[in-house]
Amino acid sequence: MKLILRIAGHAALLIVVVTTLFWTALALPVFSGLRTPVLEKMLSEQIGQTVHIRGDVSVVLGATTHVRATKVEVPSETIENVNLAALEVLELELNLPALISGQIDIDNLIIDGLKVRLLTDADGMQSWVATNRPQVNTTALGIQNDTGGILDFLSDKTAAFTSVSLIADNETTGFEFDFELENLHLDQIGNNSGATVTSHGTVNGQSFQIKGDYPRGQPFTTNANFGAMQLDFNGSPISMENGGGFKGKLTLDTGEIGDLLELLRLDRDIEGRANLAADIESQNPKLKVSDLSTGLNLSKGQLLTVEGSIENLIGFEGIDLAVDGRLYPQGHPPETATDLKDLKLTDVSTHVVGTENALEFQDLTLTTNAFDNELKQIGPVRFGRLFRADNGNLMLEKISLQAGPQDRPYFLAKGNVKDLLRLKEVDFSGTMSIPSSLFFQGLSAKSLGSFEGSFSVDDLKGFLSLNKFDAQTVDTELWMLRTQAKLGNVNEFENLSFDFNLDVRDSARFLAAIGQKTIKVGQLKVSLSANGKQDNFSSVLALRSGKSQLSAKLETSTSGARPLTQGMVSSQSIELQDVRNAFAFVSRIATSFRQPGTSGVKHKVPKGKVSDLVEVEDFLLDQDVDVSIDIKKIEGQQGITSLSSHLKANNGLAQLGPVDVAYDGGHFSATAKMNIVKSPQLLSLQGTIKDWNLATLFNEFNTKYSAVGQLHGNFDFIGNRRSIEAYTNSMRGSASILMTNGGISTSLLELSGLGIFPWLISEELRKGYSKITCLAAPVKIDAGDVSFSSFVAETKKVQLVAHGDLDWIKNTISIQAEARKLGRPLSRSAWPFEVVGTLTHPKIKLLHHNVFQKRADGATEFPENRRSCVPDIDQLRQ
């Protein structure tokens, strides 16, 4: 028994001595070198990363031991010579009895002078990712689910941080966030029931505050301010039985967007406000976003809205978003474009879906101030990286996109946008393969092949340039279309190189392939080439339809005060039927051509056609023109044999003519004039008619009488040029028609002037016609109303005089006429008559009185020298 007590006493003494030595080693300065590795190992095991202590370690012994260390570093395990974290002073409380029993219990940390560097280098390597542990769902501070980490280490501890500096610098995105926090407090709620987090300071020079309340197992809140930006998240934890994680409502108000851009160290290119609301559910490894609603209101009235959901934001999966953009203030769209340079994008609408880091734009509708264009499908679109450049631009690089069906896309393109916020410094190139059926409504036949080629565009020189466009039809024998183009400056139309060749070998087969009624045009060929650099441009056009050919050579110079286009349009031979067939062919193609859609657009502007963007008055107002027209031979129209003319425009005064047409042995000459500056809607026509065959005119009107003679005359009209109908219904002016030595195949004219008995023995009755010695018809036209006071037709014996008016707009006619023996104006007319009623169903009736039987001044004497084709009654004198 004594031996046992002695052994027990020695053991107790040994324990006291060992404990005393251990306590002494922890507390005495001479043992500082021993304490440092012990604390390094302890902290390394706790946070799951290597910890180095470069300064001193001191210990104040007690049941709760206070430990103080200086110059503590946590080196990055992935990037050499970089510390993930470094701090000036670390103080903590250590439960020594628990430590002796093999448990480490650390709490009440006080950290001063903390510097954290979260770096991502150009290769995507992150400073906080450990290399000796599997990477499964890394958090912002490198917390691994399998080994814990700094945040897990702090999750059940009270901690106070002062003078905190945190730098998040990502070289792959170019974004850098510099947090300077005066303090950060992590406080545990009593009885291990949760924690609160508070902090304030600055981020990238703007104020930053955060406050979070996280009761264990209960709903929690987070409120943060970044400058004027307010972020709130109210959520609740998901039980481990249901998979763990959390869910809640996120709201964000950016405040002034310009301030947010400055916080992100981007150029302040836009102003306005934005807000966002969404339901968030985080369950490893997914982050689900639902009921997403965001609006971007810019200071100049633009609006962008996005609504939808994202099944997994981390994996970029299950994206389903409706996007609508209005690029002009509501109710104040730009004026309808009348020129290509005025064309503006006004609205955007699309349905965005995506998965596996790719986006697809379905039912994309682009609305302009001229027309809509609906594209059923664009995508998938993939992005390489979004990052901030050193010059403050937001850049999007390595973009790849396609349009059309995914198994055989119409377009494939790759490129970059180096100034995303202003959509500038764009660089794209790609290929195209478009089935011809896409261009025609209801076309399913493959006989027209497809259109394949490549293209390249950029604006790296400060303006949009088309560097390459080369495409042609393939897999078809019905037609050949080949086009090549380059354009140094699309906006100013500078440095142009363009070639276009179309060859429809069999027009009938082509029309049948697109479901149209065939026309025997035969072969149709069109070629156009244009080239120009700096101040001079040249173009050549060649058109062949059937047996007809037309060519044009033009030169444009911009070196003077105004651009000048000079050249010649010519043809050796044109058959009018070929021209009619060519126009009919083009018309039927246009009928079948697929028109842009307008569905899905919420904000409408007046619509038009692409052709509306090229106006005649704008063309003639912006430049001077001097072009000759010479068609040496015209076939297919009776009497018309040739045509020559000249188009000139100078300072907005345009003139076409004289247009000289040889017709049936006669000539028609007319000049058209426009004053684009003062009255661009008006067109004046002036001209003459010489030796025009009356027989041809009667034949054109399908009259039952034949006639001979040659017409002469002149005309001067002005009207609205918008269309032929508008011109004829609005024109005002006068015309005068004269004829001598003609004839008409009836003797009724003699009957009405001579009476029945002289007529019965007249030579005209026996021959069955009346020889017309002269005819004069001066008329005035005023917006559809044609009036004349002295229509005169004479034979050797009779003068017919008529007056009245007709109106083709109102469909009315009222003409009175009398025929008398030549030189006998005061005698009674045998059969005066009038034509009244409607133009479509006129009524002719005999009058019971004479109209032109006396002069108001009483004149009765007839002159010795009578003038032909002047009413005899007007030649009387007193």
pLDDT in tens, 831-867: 788 889 988 888 878 887 777 667 778 888 888 888 8
Give the whole-number percent of the chain exceeding pLDDT 90: 10
- Give 684's pLDDT tier (boundaries 50, 70, 90): very high
Please give the backbone phi and psi of residue 19, each rounded to the nearest 5 degrees, phi first.
-65, -45
Where does residue 406 rank: exposed (0-12), middle (13-18), buried (19+ CB within 10 A)? exposed
Indicate the average pLDDT of the chain: 78
Average pLDDT, stretch 357-369? 75
Q: What does the pLDDT look like over 172-221, one tens digit per residue?
A: 777 788 888 888 887 877 666 778 888 888 888 888 898 988 888 889 99
Q: What does the pLDDT look like over 93-130, one tens digit per residue?
A: 877 666 666 566 677 888 888 888 888 887 778 777 65
Position 223 scores a pLDDT of: 92
Kindly list the distances between the CA atom of residue 721 and the CA atoms of 84, 239, 644, 661, in Å, as whole numbers in the listed order: 78, 79, 22, 21
Kindly list the distances between the CA atom of residue 419 and the CA atoms of 388, 389, 413, in Å, as whole numbers in the listed order: 10, 9, 18
Average pLDDT, stretch 33-50? 79
Q: Has residue 131 got a pLDDT over 60?
A: no
| Residue 769: closest CA among 845, 850, 695 | 695
Q: Has residue 613 got a pLDDT over 60?
A: no
d(CA 543, CA 504): 12
Burial 321-342 (b: 16+ CB within 10 A, else e): bebbbbbbeeeebbebbbeeee
Q: What does the pLDDT look like over 791-829, one tens digit per residue?
A: 888 888 888 888 899 898 999 989 888 888 888 888 888
Q: Has residue 229 got a pLDDT over 90?
A: no
Residue with tokens 């039987």: 853
Q: What does the pLDDT look like over 560-585, one tens digit per residue?
A: 778 888 999 888 888 878 888 887 88
Per DSSP, the three-state class of 111 is: strand
Structural tokens at position 104: 């480490």
Q: Has residue 465 got a pLDDT over 50?
A: yes
- Give 56's pLDDT tier (boundaries 50, 70, 90): confident
Kindly list the distances between the CA atom of residue 55 and the CA atoms of 40, 58, 547, 628, in Å, as whole numbers in the listed order: 12, 10, 100, 95
Position 309 scores a pLDDT of: 92
- Give 289's pLDDT tier (boundaries 50, 70, 90): very high
Position 617 scores a pLDDT of: 65
pTM, 2 dp: 0.58
d(CA 494, CA 535): 9
Average pLDDT, stretch 221-226? 89
Position 149 scores a pLDDT of: 52
Q: What does the pLDDT look like over 686-729, one tens digit per residue?
A: 999 888 777 776 666 566 667 778 888 999 999 998 888 888 88
Q: Lowest mean pLDDT of 95-109, 335-349, 654-668, name the range.
A: 95-109
d(CA 552, CA 244): 78
Q: Lowest mean pLDDT of 246-250, 292-296, 643-647, name the range.
A: 643-647
Give the whole-number percent of the chain exceeding pLDDT 70: 80
Q: Has residue 12 got a pLDDT over 60?
A: no
- Give 603's pLDDT tier (boundaries 50, 70, 90): very low
- Give 780's pLDDT tier (boundaries 50, 70, 90): very high
Position 550 scores a pLDDT of: 87
Average pLDDT, stretch 245-273? 84
Fill in the DSSP letter of residue 407.
S
CA 727, 729, 735, 737 torsion-angle sign: positive
- Give 454's pLDDT tier (boundaries 50, 70, 90): very high
Cβ pair 714, 689 in contact under 8 A = yes
Cβ pair 415, 429 in contact under 8 A = yes
Please give the backbone phi and psi of residue 241, each rounded to the nearest 5 degrees, phi first.
-65, -25
| Identity of the highest mean pLDDT range in 58-62, 377-381, 624-628 | 624-628
- Give 248's pLDDT tier (boundaries 50, 70, 90): very high
Please give the backbone phi and psi of residue 402, each rounded to the nearest 5 degrees, phi first.
-145, 160
